[in-house]
Amino acid sequence: MKKREKFDFENLLEHLPYGVLYLNDDKIVYINSASESILGLSREKILSKSIYSQQFSDKLKDTFRKLKDSGKTARLYEENFVNYFGKKYILNVHFVPVITKNINYLLLIEDYSFLKEVEKKSNEYSNIEKLSTLFASMAHEIKNPLGVIKGTIQLVEKQSLPLDSEALNIIISEVNRIEKVIQELLNYSNPQRVNEEYVNIHQILDKSIVSLTSLAKEKSVMIFKEYDTTLPNFLADPETLYRALFNVIKNAIEACSYNGKVVISTKVNVDLRYKSSTKDVNYVSIEIADNGEGMSEEDLKRIFTPFFTKKAGGTGLGMVYVQKVVLDHNGFLNIWSMPKEGTKVSIYLPMKGAM
Ligand code: ADP
Ligand code: MG
């Protein structure tokens, strides 16, 4: 019989992309270089040491303790392995028995850390995430009208005003809004459409201002209107526009200190007239300017990030909603802000179908 060629197993193990530890009882008697880099220790520091003295989890040590004399195989995930240098790993560890006079064990260690990235990515795009954002934004849209109702009732109560038709109208219209939001939630299975009709943008702005009267009064914030009365009606969704403008004006009032000032202005934007892809569509620009606390550059960058808020009771979804509504209308928006000086939100909407 041909003599079996001698094979350099040790050299093979050294080049294996898996960590290999060979254990005699609980003592580490061999370790390859992949193991060294996972553990973050040189073999001199590890050899003849007990597996129990290494930085493995209690779960791994217990598994080995139970397995040791059984001769069985096992596999487990070390989900939070932290090596000597503090580097984190996810490990997939196989326990392979090697039966000689006694039972020794070979530990095969695979680096599964890439799973974390995969998991993170899939979480980022998971439907659950999208759903929870949607629910939170719906809750926000219910909280706003509830705040208006509460504010109106408190104003009536505090100043012993009669609950007259003006106050009742505000309450009823806000209740209708909540009803509509809930309806939208129920309709969610259908993609959201823009329900277009001819709107008077000033009526929508006025409606938002009226809804925020009690908040403005409470903070003694003055609201000034500078409307371009020659603006034509145009096609837009009055409901979503109302909610978006409400959010922007509410932010402006909230940013103001006592005796602050909010200026709401509209005009046909002459500069954008020719930039539009459809020649005959002009843009209206709606500006909401406040002389409130303003924002730092970093905060301004995060204003459209869901849940970014600096307010105690804030949700950080208002501006996300504003951006969505403006984009749904094929418009765009621009924000100028300076700490301690104020903020100016400019919304540009194409005046679709305007005559
Ligand atoms: P929320 O009002 O619930 O905090 P928003 O999305 O409406 O959520 O706003 C996010 C954050 O952007 C606010 O918390 C605030 O820090 C900042 N912000 C928005 N509008 C203004 C403004 N007019 N002036 C200053 N900061 C603002
Ligand atoms: Mg807000």
Q: What is the pLDDT of residues 54-95, one digit of tens each?
A: 989 999 999 999 998 888 999 898 888 998 888 888 898 999
Q: What residues flank ligand 1, with Cβ below 6 Å?
A: 247, 251-252, 255, 290, 292-295, 299, 303, 308-311, 314-319, 343
Q: What are the tokens at 13?
A: 């193990």
Ligand 1 center to 106 CA (angstroms): 58
**Residue 280 — pLDDT band, cuts 50, 70, 90?**
low
**Residue 354 — pLDDT band, cuts 50, 70, 90?**
confident
Kindly identify the ligand whose nearest atom is closest to the C-alpha of 262: 1
Q: Which residue's CA is the nearest one to ligand 1's atom 25?
A: 294
Q: What is the pLDDT of residues 285-312, one digit of tens each?
A: 999 999 999 999 999 998 987 668 898 7
The answer to whether the beta carbons of residues 354 and 233 sit under 8 Å apart is: yes
Inform me whether the pLDDT recorded for 278 exceeds 60.
no
Q: For residue 248, which of 325, 155, 328, 143 has the smallest C-alpha distance?
A: 325
**Residue 190 — pLDDT band, cuts 50, 70, 90?**
very low
308 CA closest ligand 1 atom index:
10
Q: d(Cα 109, Cα 77) in Å, to the nearest integer?
A: 10
Domain range summary for the chain, segments of one domain joined by +: 2-111, 113-191, 195-355
Q: Give the domain 195-355 fold.
A: Heat Shock Protein 90 (3.30.565)
Ligand 1 center to 251 CA (angstroms): 6
Q: Which residue's CA is the nearest one to ligand 1's atom 21?
A: 251
Q: For residue 226, which of 198, 252, 205 has the smallest C-alpha distance?
A: 205
pTM above 0.75, yes or no: no
Percent of the chain whose pLDDT exceeds 70: 85
Q: d(Cα 319, Cα 324) in Å, to the nearest integer?
A: 8
Inform me whether the pLDDT recorded for 43 exceeds 70.
yes
Residues in the chain: 355
Q: Give the domain 113-191 fold.
A: Helix Hairpins (1.10.287)
Q: Longest C-alpha distance within the chain, in Å? A: 112
CATH 2.60.40.10 fits 2-111, yes or no: no
Domains 113-191 and 195-355 share a fold: no
Kindly identify the ligand whose nearest atom is closest to the C-alpha of 314: 1
The pLDDT assigned to 188 comes to 44
Calculate mean pLDDT across residues 203-231: 96
Kindly identify the ligand whose nearest atom is closest to the C-alpha of 324: 1
User: What average pLDDT does the structure give for the chain?
Assistant: 85
Q: What are the tokens at 344?
A: 């100016």
Residues contacting residue 330 through CB under 8 Å, at least 6 positions apart: 349, 350, 352
Ligand 1 center to 108 CA (angstroms): 53
CB atoms within 5 A of ion ligand 2 belong to: 251, 318
Calculate the CA dihedral of residues 179, 181, 182, 188 and round it to 10 degrees: 150
Rg (CA), the chain: 33
Q: d(Cα 50, Cα 116) in Å, to the nearest integer?
A: 29
Minimum mean pLDDT among 21-35, 149-163, 191-205: which range?
149-163
